[in-house]
Amino acid sequence: MATLSTTNPTLSDLAKVTDPDGSISDVVEILNATNEILTDMSWMEGNLTTGHRSSIRSGLPTPTWRKLYGGVQPTKSRAVQVTDNCGMMEDYAEVDAALVGMAGDPAAFRLQEDRPHIEGMNQEFASTLFYGDESTAPEEFTGLAPRYNSLSAENGDNIINGAGSGSDNASIWLICWSPQTCHGIIPKGSKAGIQQRDLGEVTIEDADGSNGRMQAFRTHYRWDVGITVRDWRYAVRIANIDRSGLLATAATGADLNDLMHQAWTELPSTAAGRCSWYMDKSILSMLRRQTSNAVSSSTLSVDLVGGTMQTSWGGIPIRRCDALRPDEATVS
């Protein structure tokens, strides 16, 4: 069996290990192309068939300053076990057999026709990554927002309050991905990424609802996935950003640069993994406008990385993520 050659594997890295024949590599590439979060996230195979159980350090041992002939009491660290479950997301794609027969490359044509289904699952994953909540939707996995939803919680220091109180609040996230901080999980013994199964040619009801029959090629897609937050210090949420109060001058409303400075300070180290900012397009646009209005020398930069233009803040890449909602409730 293949082994991981990296200590901080991406979804593509894990797919090469769990699916060495490469049968799902094309699907993983489509996922990466339509969801930048997947290029940042670290991934691990869980130690449970339903998810992953990890030990999280809840307290450090206290050393003793010893004097000559003085004794030292033995100490130990404190840890708690946390279980994160995976959700099971599925979809079926059906393509008219006549269309497949007319294609020069039937396999490539079917993948192209199935692409919207893959992208739909991708967007659903991105939304659940932030907003999934097993307490209200047991079939999902628990995302980040329910874990960072109280300013008075133990991890409340990692929630920066943007002071908004309306019904059009937004969030910016700063996340450091690694196997020791935050990472994606797949169930024990499963394959990474979306599993694709060709069910061949089948007879289905026609799409116009007339109860007729037609021949189609059917593909089944399944993605068992979840996340683990092993060290809550490596994810910071800037919550309560009132969209309606934002100004390019930052004279009133949230000063996005200032809030991001506060979030950056809460992160213990940017060297602990792959760090990225996540925000939707309207917040990213306002950040650029506020930055250009504020100072001539700023922490915002745009560079050519791997043939594409990459916007960074404080040297950390910014990912546009439209799965982030424009109508978040106030975090208090």
Q: Is 65 a domain residue?
A: no
- Mean per-residue pLDDT, 6-23: 58
Considering Cα of 310, then 313, then 319, then 324, what sign does the dihedral take?
A: negative
pLDDT in tens, 179-211: 999 999 999 998 888 888 999 999 988 766 677
Average pLDDT for the chain: 85
- Mean per-residue pLDDT, 2-20: 55
- Other residues' Cβ atoms within 10 Å of the Cβ of residue 133: 16
pLDDT in tens, 235-258: 999 999 999 899 998 888 899 999
In this model, does residue 128 exceed pLDDT 80? yes
In this model, does residue 324 exceed pLDDT 50? yes
More confident residue, 27 or 290: 290
Residue 4's pLDDT band, with cuts at 50, 70 and 90, is: very low
Residue 298's pLDDT band, with cuts at 50, 70 and 90, is: low
In this model, does residue 317 exceed pLDDT 90? yes
Query: What is the pLDDT, as a whole number, of residue 5?
Result: 41
Residue 1's pLDDT band, with cuts at 50, 70 and 90, is: very low
Q: Is 200 a domain residue?
A: yes
- Rounded to 10 degrees, the C-alpha dihedral 21/27/28/32 comes to 160
More confident residue, 61 or 51: 51
Q: Is 66 a domain residue?
A: no
In this model, does residue 77 exceed pLDDT 90? no
The answer to whether 52 touches 46, Cβ cutoff 8 Å, is yes
More confident residue, 199 or 301: 199
Q: Is 64 a domain residue?
A: no
Residue 47's pLDDT band, with cuts at 50, 70 and 90, is: very high
Considering Cα of 131, then 134, then 135, then 137, what sign does the dihedral take?
A: positive
Read off the amino acid at residue 81.
Q
CA-nearest of 199, 181, 195 to 225 is 195
63: left (phi over 0), alpha (psi -120 to 50) or beta: beta
Q: Is 71 a domain residue?
A: no
Q: Is 2 a domain residue?
A: no
- Mean per-residue pLDDT, 295-315: 71
pLDDT in tens, 254-272: 999 999 999 999 999 999 9
Q: How far is CA 322 from CA 52, 113, 279, in A?
A: 28, 23, 7
CA angle 253, 256, 261 (to 5 degrees): 130
Q: Is 5 a domain residue?
A: no
In this model, does residue 72 exceed pLDDT 80? yes
In this model, does residue 27 exceed pLDDT 70? no
Query: What is the pLDDT, as a whole number, of residue 8?
Result: 60
* Boundaries of domain holding 248: 11-54+82-320
Query: What is the pLDDT, as a whole number, of residue 24?
Result: 46
Q: How many domains are contained in the chain? A: 1
Query: What is the pLDDT, as a whole number, of residue 81?
Result: 82
